[in-house]
Structure 1
Amino acid sequence: MNLLAVDTSAEGCSAAVLSQGQIFSRFTLAPRGHTRLLMPMVRELLVESKIASSELNAVAFACGPGSFTGLRIATGVAQGLAYGLDVPVVPISSLAAVAAQMIESQQVPEGASIAVAFDARMSEVYWGCFENVAGLPALIGEERVCLPGDVSIPPGPTSWYGAGSGWILQDQMPATVVGDMVQINPAMVPHAADVVRLAKQAWDEGRHVLAAAARPVYLRDEVTWKKLPGR
């Protein structure tokens, strides 16, 4: 199984290859360098992992939510590669990728939960809650965009951990939500190494699409991009 993953949904630009159970990855913080840096990363990783592009079984990408421009870049790269190689695309939630990173790096206990928040600008946050199930994040409810004061976590005895840039707005969040967090890491951004791990799970479960069906997930697009009357 050979998987390539790319992510440009936030400040980071990253790519990763999963081959023979080993992950090879590149990551850099470059908010304005995604277009310039991403494809050289991909080429370097294919050389390092010693596989040809023709040996890839699928291309994964962080589909959002996140930066509108960044999501378009990752979607275009994933679609272009998948079209050329005639392989499927595996869209992976950017929020889930950060939850996976939190589980991996902070050793969130089995059964504990992660509340991921991204700064969505316009005084809003992208919000998603996940449970650590066998070392991987399982979505609780739905991902959404909302005011920081409207975020919530499901009731229950589980321990909660916070991750993502949206937590810089924690002073605007309900005190009950912030107070339930065991630990908060606002510095975490999506990383293709986590995207590729989640893509392997998705692939095994048959959750992949044709290149033509790959779409970014904006969450707020139906609100922000309404057509004017008569247009």
Structure 2
Amino acid sequence: MTRILALETAGETCSVAIMDGDEVLEHFEQAPRRQTEKVLPMVEALLAESQLTLRQLDGIAFGHGPGAFTGVRVAAAVTQGLAFAADLPVIGISTLAACALSAQDISPHRDVIAVFDARMGEIYLGAYACEEAGARALADDGLFHPDTLPALPEKDWMIVGSGLVYGEALRKAYGASRCEADVHPHAKAVAQLALSGFQRGEGVSAEQAQPVYLRDQVIQGAVR
């Protein structure tokens, strides 16, 4: 039986989950720009509710981005601190994948495009096939301008997330049958996506809990 603590703070929300075998407990709050003050008390409360200590866990999973810079940093930093304290392995999970999987709670839909408003006239976008085992990437997560969206396979897409502020461009590009802007990545989805990795022994050391900044990658690529 695998026990996982999961954190997700990359957007306007803050959520923490504990997976203990087949059971998952989650605390989820709307907390724009307040994740720093919220996340540790939520972890402590959930551990108490689960009657577990950090050292009884098998690993910590966190949403590593993309997302709001501050939120992504919070998840990585808290994960590092907790993992160092309890000598636990960590696994980072795409927040776009977590959002796609979280959408299944609203409308079970196999093929999901998750989009976040990246500000500066751009969106973070990831395409996933959602299955019992999790969410399988159909394309690399990326940062795009709404006028230059990536080509994706023709499917019965569901589009979810805050990036639907550019809904017209997204519908034109992908012909989605359903769009839901009010879908957020949940920590329980992060735990579900990390489970197989922990079971295969793919967790890494605490110092490797690093955020993924797609915008930084684009900037660095432009400089080179």
Could you tell me which runs of 5 or more consecutive residues in structure 2 were left unpaired when the two chains were aligned: none
The Cα of 1:149 is off from its aligned counterpart by 1.7
**Which of the residues 130, 139, 142 maps onto 1:132?**
130
1:136 positional shift: 2.1
TM-score when scaled to structure 2?
Answer: 0.92
5 Å-filtered alignment, 1:57-136, equals: 57-108=58-109, 112-134=110-132, 136=134
Query: Residue deviations 1:45-72, cap 9 Å, x none?
Result: 1111111221011011000000101111
TM-score by length of structure 1 reads 0.90
Report sequence identity in percent. Answer: 34
CA distance in 2, matches of 1:4, 1:197: 11
Shift of 1:173: 3.7
Question: What residue number does 1:222 align with?
Answer: 217
Q: How many residues align?
A: 222
Contact 2:149/2:173 (<8 A) preserved: no
Deviation by residue 1:75-128 (Cα, 9 ceiling, x = unmatched): 0000000011111111010000011111233111xxx31111100001000011
Alpha carbons of structure 1 residues 205 and 106: separation in structure 2 relative to 1, 3 Å: farther
- DSSP-derived class of the 2:152 partner: coil
Q: Which moved more, 1:64-73 or 1:19-28?
A: 19-28
Shift of 1:137: 1.1
Could you say which residue in structure 2 is the equivalent of 1:188? 183
Out of 153, 164, 169, the residue aligned to residue 167 of structure 1 is 164
The equivalent of 2:204 in structure 1 is 209
Secondary structure at the counterpart of residue 25 of structure 1? strand
Partner residue in 2 for 1:199: 194
Q: Measure the CA separation in 1 of the matches of 2:125 and 2:92.
A: 18
Note if contact 2:33-2:71 (Cα within 8 Å) is conserved in structure 1. Answer: no
Secondary structure in 2 aligned to 1:5?
Answer: strand
Structure 1 letter corresponding to 2:112? I
What is the aligned partner in structure 2 of residue 152 from structure 1?
A: 150
Q: What amino acid maps onto 1:183 in structure 2?
A: R
Shift of 1:148: 1.2
Q: 1:176 to 1:76 in 2, by over 3 A?
A: closer
User: Tell me, which stretches of 5 or more residues in structure 1 are unaligned?
Assistant: none
Q: Is the 8 A contact 1:57 1:87 kept in 2?
A: yes
Q: Which residue of 2 aligns with 1:18?
A: 19
* SS of equivalent to 1:95: helix
Mean alpha-carbon deviation: is it higher for 79-88 or for 166-175? Answer: 166-175
